[in-house]
Homo-oligomer: A and B are copies of this chain.
Amino acid sequence: MILTVTLNTALDLTYRVPALTPHATHRVTQVIERPGGKGLNVARVLAALGHETVATGFAGGATGAMLRDLLAATPVRDELVATAGPTRRTVAVVDTTTGDTTQLNEPGPAITPAEWAGFRTRFTELLDGARAVALCGSLPPGIHVGAYAELIRLARAAAVPVLLDTSGEPLRRGIAARPDLVKPNADELAQLTGSREPHRATRDARRRGAHAVISSLGPEGLLAATPEGLWRAAPPAPVKGNPTGAGDSAVAGLLSGLVDEAPWPERLTRAVALSAATVLSPVAGEYDPSAYEELLPRVKVTSDSEAA
């Protein structure tokens, strides 16, 4: 199975309104509730691709119970660890006239040292049987900034390939613990390396300890620096739509290719096609399966000497 970790889970609410006007009253025309947090998004896509998928992380309170009810309706196995504090909500307010989204994110509960210790134990148990593990998203309050580095060391000790998708100091500390894969976007990469030039920044990120760095170039695809070579992967044409969850779908594509022992160009193809099929989907954060199948043979992967 593939294990995904979401330390800062969320009950994601999507509200559709004709247009958001500050200081006015809005009647919400549609409400969508989903189990949220980057690792849960990755898990849903992996399960939809047919992979046995297990999700861990934290959930608590009435909102945590709602999240777990929603997760139970998916093929993802729920191995979330209970917290005393209630799971946060996020509210995405989508203007139906333009498709623009306004995001409101609750802070989430502080994790206690005992809860973190309990999680580490559960994580170690779950590694036994995992073919890959993804560590995704921000750290909740109360968890030390080196938490991902700690989980990466546990995964490496268990010989389970580990992907890290986070930002800021947790990414910096995590990379130093030598994960197999990191997947930064342009902003995360610039924050880490100080460079906005993708080739230079990707090379720099690899030097910091990651075995492979897959940098997102947004609508232009991915740039990959791996032990086996350097590639660019791009969709046949730039896609327009809602980019929510596109990065999480790319992570799912990389993990899917990894556990299938596919060569790098095939892994990148899956990642780019899933990412584009997510942008094209009418439902934010979901991918369009027929668009995915249609895109797969059309993704362009080229060897990229410039990234060397």
On whether A102 and B23 interact (CB within 8 A), knowing A28-B107, A91-B91, the answer reads yes
Residues of A50-108 contacting chain B, CB below 8 A:
62, 65-66, 69, 89, 91, 93, 95, 100-107
Q: Is the CB of A24 within 8 A of B103?
A: yes
Judged by a CB distance under 8 angstroms, whether A258 is at the interface is no
Q: What B residues does A103 contact at CB under 8 A?
A: 24-26
Inter-chain CA distance A17–B27, complex, in Å, is 21
How far in angstroms is the closest Cβ of chain B from A289?
28
CA distance A105 to B15 in the complex (A): 9
Interface residues of A in 129-155 (CB under 8 A from B): none
Q: Which residue of B lies closest to A69 (CB)?
A: B62
A22 contacts partner chain B, Cβ-Cβ < 8 Å: yes
| Minimum CB–CB distance for A22 against chain B, Å | 5
Nearest Cβ on chain B to A62's Cβ, whole angstroms:
5
Whether B31 pairs with A106 at a CB distance below 8 angstroms is yes
Q: In the complex where A29-B107, A62-B62, A107-B29 touch, is A102 in contact with B24 (Cβ < 8 A)?
A: yes
Q: Tell me if B107 and A27 are in contact (CB < 8 A).
A: yes
A104 to B105, CA, bound (A): 15
Are the CB atoms of A26 and B100 closer together than 8 Å?
no
User: Could you say which of B22, B25, B89, B93 contacts A105, with CB atoms under 8 Å apart?
Assistant: B25
Interface residues on A, range: 20 to 34
Q: Which interface residue of A17, A29, A65, A104 has the most chain B CB atoms within 10 A?
A: A104
Question: How far is it, in angstroms, between the C-alpha of A13 and the C-alpha of B28 when the chains are bound?
Answer: 14
- CB contact under 8 A between A100 and B25, given known A31-B106, A62-B66, A91-B91: no
Contact, CB under 8 Å: A104 / B22:
no
Q: With A62-B65, A62-B69, A66-B62 as given contacts, are A102 and B28 in contact (CB-CB < 8 Å)?
A: no
26 CB contacts below 8 A, A to B, read: A13-B89, A15-B91, A17-B104, A20-B23, A21-B102, A22-B22, A22-B95, A22-B100, A23-B102, A24-B102, A24-B103, A25-B102, A25-B105, A26-B103, A27-B107, A28-B105, A28-B106, A28-B107, A29-B107, A31-B89, A31-B106, A31-B107, A62-B66, A62-B69, A91-B104, A93-B104
17 additional A-B pairs beyond A13-B89, A15-B104, A29-B107, beta carbons within 8 Å, are A15-B106, A17-B104, A20-B22, A20-B102, A21-B22, A22-B95, A23-B95, A25-B102, A26-B105, A27-B105, A28-B104, A28-B105, A28-B107, A62-B66, A91-B91, A91-B104, A93-B104
